[in-house]
Structure 1
């Protein structure tokens, strides 16, 4: 049977444990350095604690070492990977090819989406040299994923939810160009979320002051069966900077979606153990989102941008139906609560925000009344009740066990077995003293005590008690037997957990390109040696090492022609002069279009 993995982000150990409790089969987390989210670093001590907790459920922990490296950092990066392996990490997510030249322990290597896993030839090469898993580019369509699956044998992972980068991953240099904060170094300044003016070459204004590089968030929850059938085995949620409430909500939502699929498909199983118990109903629209898109999964068939605001849009409530002095009424006003945060979009596309002071007689009384009009759209982007539900929810994850209690010649015996075929048996050598109670009463008493699994990670799914007679047993004896058995079973689960092993890499595979430039992000001698060993003859350094000023700062599948109804494939009468010009108030950029490959290129204009 094929295993299916739900992979969750973790800003820190607290978020990671919450994700596991809510049903994540694996989490990915950053260490102190070299992670693509500089604001989400963790100590080795915390990661070790996380590994121990995760492995109880046979869940995995992946560490991100996915920035490009400078020569002075190579030793520190290798030492970090060795340390991570020694504390039990299950895989390293990498970007820099220097890591493939290092003398490392056999930790599985996952090629980050930052490796530009949009190029089929690069993907095939990584597979041929023996990489364990490839994280596919978000821009790939379902048909492209199916084609890749036919070409490679390694595991394939894809993103299914979260924030989207407008540029192909690993090929965005805009932040580095404008302020020296390199996305490939984990320092992205989110310049794609700024507002811009867009004109054509003759100065005709196409868009003025909107966030025209800011994409909606990804949501592919309706396409999980198709993605599974196309060969994806790991489903990744973006969000290593997101808070615990967000991660709990989204993980729980996808856990239910995947479990629904698994329930009707016996050829697939989840990759970890246990059931999650939560007290809230997950809903992605009720935590941070900019609106949703499946992002090109079935082609470019919808608008991808969230141009009015880069902030959370939240859940649509309805239209304003009446405005009075200091109060207004909206459709579905009964859905709102005191303290909710609202986002209002006017008919002119002006975005404003307010917070609800009270709801009374079908009207909203905001703390800060602002000009509103009938017909304005109302979204709730801070759901006070849902946020409270997430905060107070004590999510837990439990592994079903079967228990069998019986009397033997020397006393009493308790056997406990879990779903992964781990079994422990504990004995209590005691004289068997007959009890005056009816045997059925004794059996019920024993079952009651055995079912009290307390703070363990286990839940008694079935309990069998077989006695030859009614015996007197102190409750403390039954409790001690149960406690000892569960402690031994938990230790056995950790002991029997097997980490995957990275096989040797094939150094004889020829790289598909003889010449590579800044887009390959070669920032150190070891990465250069890697490419030369595989037949590359001409290598230009990374943008962060040397910039010519003429690089493509962004390469995107999002198309500003399409987003503004100017794509000539769907609007043959569109009139404009190339190239388009972007202006952020200080800098000018040229925007050109490669329509044959459906790519948009942004460059700095001097």
Structure 2
């Protein structure tokens, strides 16, 4: 029987340890998470004790924990960063995701280093340099095409990591200075002000308004679900989901979605295998449309795309499901293509604003027709020109199914032995 020669890693984000555990239960082979400091996400840090507990949990499944230490460091932070790296190593962390090359000159333990997307890796030369100086995995820029990824693959020994889902920046990662210029808050220090999600008015050289209060720098979200096989063939081995600010539902849903998509490929490709142990059973149907997104694009992976902007709104408006047909003082009538439930979240666009409501009571009035009594009736609904398009951004019944934890049975791992025997992962005892 032919043995697998390449491991594919599904890499999920975690704002906190509890989300990291759920990511692993829903199929992640690895989780990346912020430590106590120096991670490029303000207010997404975690204590060493939480990271140690998450590492212990992950290693039961042969999964790995990567900690982000990917801000640019000031001189007075070098020694605190070095001490933190030693403590993360003792906590059982498998790798650090870094941007500052000064870390390479530090006296640090033998922990794997991954080059962050903040390193702006777009060329063969940059990738080769990072591979040769010791990075075991590099995160390529989101803007690259399949031929560009393949060219880098052919030139380096390091593993290639690539973002397959989540938010897109309008600038190259690590090269955006809008936030710092406008507010003094640096994205390279983990404190981006999200200037690209703000509304702007565009005028031509005569001062005439071309676009008024549009989100002209806001991009749709990345979605490479239809390009996974091509990315594998181009050399990607770690498939990264963006979202260290995302909530539990998002991480569970998107992780499960890509776990199923990758598993379908693994079924057909005996030379490929999971990077962790066991299999995940899901009790819901994963769907990227059900949790936060701004629309989707596969960006420039296949070819340069024109329709990449989320210019109307950077918010999550959900999916179109029908129309509002009548509005009364305390209720509204709708005609929809989906089954509605008590607790659903709905919204309409009124001029430039997204007006949302929560369905307190939903009453069927015929096929595809419902009367809805919201928790609170938004006054703006009285101004609608009917019929008016209606979106749903929270499916209550689907969310309830999402709350059920999948079972990733540990009995399978007991037959295989500890993670170190199964996948070469070297476990370390945490120093007390």
Equivalent pair of 2:278/2:409 in contact (CA under 8 Å): yes
Distance in structure 1 (CA, Å) of the matches to 2:229 and 2:115: 24
Distance in structure 2 (CA, Å) of the matches to 1:89 and 1:56: 13
Equivalent pair of 2:163/2:239 in contact (CA under 8 Å): yes
Q: State the Cα deviation string for residues 30-78 of structure 1 (Å, max 9, x = none).
A: 1100001121111111111111111111111101000000000000001
Deviation at 1:324, TM superposition (A): 4.5
Q: Name the stretch that deviates more: 270-279 or 259-268.
A: 270-279
5 Å matches for 1:305-324? 305-320=309-324, 322-324=325-327
Equivalent pair of 1:356/1:364 in contact (CA under 8 Å): no
Per the alignment, residue 328 of structure 1 pairs with 333
Deviation at 1:495, TM superposition (A): 7.5
Per the alignment, residue 358 of structure 1 pairs with 361
Equivalent pair of 1:216/1:304 in contact (CA under 8 Å): yes
Deviation at 1:296, TM superposition (A): 1.6
Equivalent pair of 2:123/2:152 in contact (CA under 8 Å): no
Q: Out of 282, 290, 297, which is 1:286 matched to?
A: 290
Q: Name the stretch that deviates more: 23-32 or 323-332.
A: 323-332
Distance in structure 1 (CA, Å) of the matches to 2:203 and 2:371: 40
Distance in structure 2 (CA, Å) of the matches to 1:375 and 1:146: 50
Per the alignment, residue 81 of structure 1 pairs with 85
5 Å matches for 1:76-225? 76-225=80-229
**Off by >3 Å, runs of 4+ in structure 1:** 348-351, 492-501
2:53 corresponds to 1:49 = yes
2:396 corresponds to 1:384 = yes
Distance in structure 2 (CA, Å) of the matches to 1:339 and 1:357: 6
Deviation at 1:500, TM superposition (A): 6.9
Deviation at 1:278, TM superposition (A): 2.5
- Could you say what secondary structure the match of 2:8 adopts? strand
Per the alignment, residue 243 of structure 1 pairs with 247
Q: 1:113 to 1:226 in 2, by over 3 A?
A: same
Q: Out of 295, 299, 317, which is 1:295 matched to?
A: 299
5 Å matches for 1:457-606? 492-493=418-419, 498-499=424-425
Equivalent pair of 2:67/2:93 in contact (CA under 8 Å): yes
Q: State the Cα deviation string for residues 320-348 of structure 1 (Å, max 9, x = none).
A: 4x23434232331x4222222222236x6
Deviation at 1:115, TM superposition (A): 0.4
Distance in structure 1 (CA, Å) of the matches to 2:233 and 2:387: 44
Q: 1:85 to 1:343 in 2, by over 3 A?
A: same
5 Å matches for 1:416-431? 418=415, 420=416, 422=417
2:237 corresponds to 1:226 = no
Q: State the Cα deviation string for residues 106-150 of structure 1 (Å, max 9, x = none).
A: 111100000011244222211232321110111111221122212
Deviation at 1:162, TM superposition (A): 0.9
Per the alignment, residue 430 of structure 2 pairs with none
Per the alignment, residue 385 of structure 2 pairs with 373
Q: Out of 304, 308, 333, which is 2:308 matched to?
A: 304
Distance in structure 1 (CA, Å) of the matches to 2:422 and 2:284: 33
Q: Out of 391, 397, 405, which is 2:408 matched to?
A: 397
Deviation at 1:232, TM superposition (A): 0.2
- Could you say what secondary structure the match of 1:157 adopts? strand
Select the structure of larger CA radius of gyration.
1
Task: Considering Cα pairs closer than 8 Å and 6+ residues apart, tell me whether 1 or 2 has the greater RCO.
Answer: 2
Unaligned runs of 5+ in 2: 428-432
Distance in structure 1 (CA, Å) of the matches to 2:183 and 2:419: 49
Deviation at 1:181, TM superposition (A): 1.1
Deviation at 1:497, TM superposition (A): 6.3
Deviation at 1:263, TM superposition (A): 0.4
Q: Out of 18, 27, 48, which is 2:22 matched to?
A: 18
TM normalised by structure 2 equals 0.90
- Could you say what secondary structure the match of 1:289 adopts? coil
Deviation at 1:213, TM superposition (A): 1.1
Q: State the Cα deviation string for residues 375-400 of structure 1 (Å, max 9, x = none).
A: 53322112222222223x12231145
Q: State the Cα deviation string for residues 494-547 of structure 1 (Å, max 9, x = none).
A: 67764479xxxxxxxxxxxxxxxxxxxxxxxxxxxxxxxxxxxxxxxxxxxxxx
Equivalent pair of 1:337/1:384 in contact (CA under 8 Å): yes
Equivalent pair of 2:12/2:23 in contact (CA under 8 Å): yes
Equivalent pair of 1:308/1:350 in contact (CA under 8 Å): no
Equivalent pair of 2:215/2:312 in contact (CA under 8 Å): yes
TM normalised by structure 1 equals 0.65
Equivalent pair of 1:355/1:368 in contact (CA under 8 Å): no
Deviation at 1:417, TM superposition (A): 6.2
- Could you say what secondary structure the match of 1:75 adopts? helix
- Could you say what secondary structure the match of 2:202 adopts? strand
Instruction: Give the total of aligned pairs.
Output: 412
Distance in structure 2 (CA, Å) of the matches to 1:354 and 1:84: 44
Q: Out of 74, 82, 86, which is 1:70 matched to?
A: 74
Unaligned runs of 5+ in 1: 402-415, 423-491, 502-606
Q: 1:119 to 1:319 in 2, by over 3 A?
A: farther
Distance in structure 2 (CA, Å) of the matches to 1:219 and 1:27: 19
Q: Name the stretch that deviates more: 128-137 or 29-38.
A: 128-137
Deviation at 1:374, TM superposition (A): 3.5
